[in-house]
Amino acid sequence: TQLLEQSPQFLSIQEGENLTVYCNSSSVFSSLQWYRQEPGEGPVLLVTVVTGGEVKKLKRLTFQFGDARKDSSLHITAAQPGDTGLYLCADDQAGTALIFGKGTTLSVSS
């Protein structure tokens, strides 16, 4: 059974700081997805990465996929209070449901 480990579990920072969260898998990802979940809401897809070494940018968010496709990082530049939420990584394997990590809870205070 695939295990997704996310770190850190909790992160509390000030507005304007940079941060990086990580996702590591016990096996090779088929297709890695990052989600953000706000309190009281369902997760919302941020990005999908498929190719080892791939880097994708979404405004102040930079997603990197490891060359071996077993790890990924999410870097946020100049964090804002609106970035607060639970960041989840997930593996999307064809024909089966998404497998999620436990997430990183990010709190950005102004």
Partner 1 sequence: NAGVMQNPRHLVRRRGQEARLRCSPMKGHSHVYWYRQLPEEGLKFMVYLQKENIIDESGMPKERFSAEFPKEGPSILRIQQVVRGDSAAYFCASSPAPGAGEKLFFGSGTQLSVL
Residues that bind partner 1 (CB under 8 A): 9, 30-31, 40-45, 48, 50, 88, 92-103
Nearer to partner 1, 54 or 92 (CB): 92
Q: Is the peptide bond before 39 cis (omega within 30 degrees of 0)?
A: no
Nearer to partner 1, 50 or 68 (CB): 50
Structural tokens at position 92 = 């999307």
Our CB check for partner 1 shows the closer of 39 and 110 to be 39
Looking at this protein, which amino acid is placed at residue 36? R
What are the two backbone dihedrals, phi and then psi, of residue 82, each rounded to the nearest 5 degrees? Answer: -70, -10
The distance of closest approach from Cβ of residue 102 to partner 1 in the complex, given in angstroms and rounded to an integer, is 4
